[in-house]
Amino acid sequence: MLERSVRRPRTAVLLLHGGRSEGMAPPARWNLAAARMRPFTRAILGATEGHDVLVGRVRYRHRGWNGERADAAVDARRALDELELLAGSVRVVLVGHSMGGRAALAVAGHDLVRGVVGLAPWCPVGEPVEQLADRRVVLVHGDRDRTTDPLGSRDVARRARAAGADACAVLMSGGDHAMLRRAGEWHTLTTGLVSGLLGLTPLPEPVRRAFEEGRDPATSD
């Protein structure tokens, strides 16, 4: 679903909301996981206004990841293929929360993708990272998250660097999985990361230094 359609976009942002580990039913028209991404969508639309950036949301056919089916990743890859037919070889940044973060990481090897912003991403042990080579990846995780493990983000960032990605994990002090605590800071940081990865503005300084030095930045206080 397009939030902003640009006739000749130079770049694009696709947002992917969270979901469940299992669930074959389609998401409801209104669901909390999608609602969590609306403030991020509005912030990104505002930050990219006037820059020929297409902004859209990935629609899932099922509520869950569903094991080896990886349904959310299948839908994300389909959305990228459709975007390529619509707009050509635009540079894409993916922004995904929780299950959407896992899907964004899984499809980052697609030719269009240049960067990934994972918000409290679901990163199981041993998740593949080879597809992240030559991509720029920032994973943001609250230290009070009780749904997905912040250590999973750090592990993926570390292994992604070894695989040839510019990658780091930012730990947000006091942040929770729903991104309600310090909500404004989640929105501001995410918008800054997206604008930086698109090349519209400099990356936030701690992330820029982390990329240069091949490490994770200090905790966001």
pLDDT band, very low/low/confident/very high, at 221 (cuts 50, 70, 90) = low
Taken in order of first residue, the domains within the chain and their CATH numbers are: 2-213 (3.40.50.1820)
Q: For 184-195, what is each residue's pLDDT tens digit?
A: 999 999 999 999
Q: For 150-161, what is each residue's pLDDT tens digit?
A: 999 999 999 999
pTM for the structure as a whole: 0.96
What is residue 220's DSSP assignment? B
Instruction: Over range 68-79, report the average pLDDT.
Output: 98
Task: For CA atoms 33, 64, 147, 164, give the dihedral sign.
Answer: negative
- The structure tokens listed for 194 are 């997206």
**Of the candidates 184, 93, 90, which has an alpha carbon nearest to the alpha carbon of residue 137?**
93
pLDDT of residue 219: 65
| Kind of pairing between the strands at 53-57 and 136-142 | unpaired
Q: For 100-117, what is each residue's pLDDT tens digit?
A: 999 999 999 999 999 999
pLDDT of residue 220: 65
**Of the candidates 136, 119, 137, which has an alpha carbon nearest to the alpha carbon of residue 177?**
119
